[in-house]
Chains A and B, each alone.
Chain A
Amino acid sequence: MAGQQPPPEPREDDAPQPPNSGQGMVAVSYLFAGLVVWGGAGWLVDQWLGTKGIAFAIGAVLGAAAGVYLIVRRLGA
């Protein structure tokens, strides 16, 4: 069983694609992480300066944008 070789032919372009659910999860986790990290940072700034959600909003938008950018860089063509 363990001694067998993997399939000799490497994947060709017309071969079935490998399971891509990993990539989907990566994309979702980048989006989520962007929102949480920079939204969270913005929220902390809000607490610190006593502003009411402005920093949080900026942080969340910035984080989501950065998440999208990361997805494009890491997973894009």
Chain B
Amino acid sequence: MTGQSIVLAADVPFPPSVEDFYLPSILPWGEHGSYWFTKIMVLAWLSVAILIVFFLVSYRKPQLVPTKKQWLAESVYGFVRNNIAVDMIGKEGVRFAPYLTTLFSFILIMNMWAIVPLAQISPNSHIAFPIILAVISYVMFIYVGFQKHGPSYLKHALVPPAPWFILPILVPIEFFSNFIVRPFSLAVRLFANMFAGHMLLLVFTLGGFAMVSANGLLAPVSVLSWAMVVALTFLDFAVIVLQAYVFTVLTASYIQGSLAEGH
């Protein structure tokens, strides 16, 4: 055991806690308890900037034979429009493709920070971001429903096709499931996945240091732990893409539910 790694390990806090998600303030520099401008905020704004600049630049002068950037942008848009919007919602889905594409790319970029070196935390691991995204989808599918059906949207959403005497039992379930569980599960699913991903990486990284500093004989286990970090990073990548996809698909499916004709 070299002295250096012991020094390194000594100031590694273990086990990681929720506090590790509250990064130090950048402006004012290093102030405690100030969370207005942290790395989370920087990454969120950076995501917005990347999204805007990428799509503007890659579609500034569209070519018949697309450039590489244009091809990428068109692929992302085409994927969301054909494989999510049109497939789930039907012909009307084209109308929602721009929003769904924005949603998909935004969540993807926000999630991706979790495994980008030096960033290594996703803003979506703070539940505030998923909540706002879920609220947008929530307001949207309710608005679309009222727009399509008028006041009878409530009947459409709450009254299932069933004999009248079971309805008193079913309507509260429909209400709870459609208007309370939906936004909640949208937000929590995204948040929990990103939170758990970051936590896992922290546990295995810091755990390696903790074991080495506890006992030099544990060094091989530490190496194993760090190897696990690499594997888990790939797992996290899969989760990142999947969660962006799931959020978009579910939003599309809720919109489809609002647009569907009567039973």
Contact with A along B129-161 (1 / 0, CB 8 A): 000000000000000000000000000000011
Task: Indicate which residue in B98, B173, B182, B250 contacts A67 across the interface (CB closer than 8 Å).
Answer: B173
Q: Is there contact, CB below 8 Å, between A7 and B82? A: yes
Q: Is there contact, CB below 8 Å, between B185 and A29? A: yes
Contact with B along A53-72 (1 / 0, CB 8 A): 00000000011001101100
Interface size classification for chain B:
35 or more
Most buried by A among B74, B91, B249: B249
How distant is the Cα of A4 from the Cα of B174 in the complex, in angstroms? 37
Q: Is there contact, CB below 8 Å, between B73 and A6? A: no
A50 contacts the other chain (CB 8 A): no
Secondary structure at chain A's binding surface: helix, strand, loop or mixed?
A: helix
- Shortest Cβ distance from residue A14 to the other chain B in the assembled complex, whole angstroms: 15
B88 contacts the other chain (CB 8 A): yes
Chain A residue with Cβ nearest B73: A1
- Shortest Cβ distance from residue A62 to the other chain B in the assembled complex, whole angstroms: 7
A-B contact count (CB 8 A): 83
Q: Which among B23-31, B32-40, B162-170, B205-213 touches the partner chain?
A: B162-170
Q: Is there contact, CB below 8 Å, between A70 and B98? A: no
Task: Indicate which residue in B81, B162, B185 contacts A69 across the interface (CB closer than 8 Å).
Answer: B162
Chain B residue with Cβ nearest A30: B177
Contacts of B98 in A (CB 8 A): 2
How distant is the Cα of A26 from the Cα of B91 in the complex, in angstroms? 22
A52 contacts the other chain (CB 8 A): no
Task: Indicate which residue in B170, B246, B256 contacts A70 across the interface (CB closer than 8 Å).
Answer: B170
Chain A residue with Cβ nearest B254: A22
Q: Is there contact, CB below 8 Å, between B173 and A63? A: yes
Contacts of B9 in A (CB 8 A): none
Interface size classification for chain A:
20 to 34
- Shortest Cβ distance from residue A26 to the other chain B in the assembled complex, whole angstroms: 8
Contacts of B82 in A (CB 8 A): 6-7
How distant is the Cα of A39 from the Cα of B58 in the complex, in angstroms? 53
Q: Is there contact, CB below 8 Å, between A29 and B182? A: yes
Task: Indicate which residue in A7, A32, A73 contacts B161 across the interface (CB closer than 8 Å).
Answer: A73
Contacts of B73 in A (CB 8 A): 1
Contacts of A38 in B (CB 8 A): 169, 172-173
Contacts of B87 in A (CB 8 A): 11, 18-19
Task: Indicate which residue in B86, B94, B172, B249 contacts A21 across the interface (CB closer than 8 Å).
Answer: B249
A45 contacts the other chain (CB 8 A): no
Given A6-B94, A69-B166, A22 and B249 contact (CB-CB distance below 8 Å): yes
B235 contacts the other chain (CB 8 A): no
A-B contact pairs, 12 of them (CB 8 A): A1-B59, A1-B62, A7-B86, A19-B83, A21-B246, A21-B250, A22-B252, A33-B176, A36-B176, A38-B172, A66-B169, A70-B170
The 7 A-B pairs at the shortest CB distance, nearest first, are namely: A22-B253, A33-B177, A18-B87, A33-B176, A29-B181, A6-B86, A29-B177
Instruction: Name 10 extra pairs, CB < 8 A, besides A21-B246, A29-B177.
Output: A6-B81, A6-B82, A6-B91, A11-B87, A18-B88, A19-B88, A25-B250, A26-B253, A37-B176, A73-B160
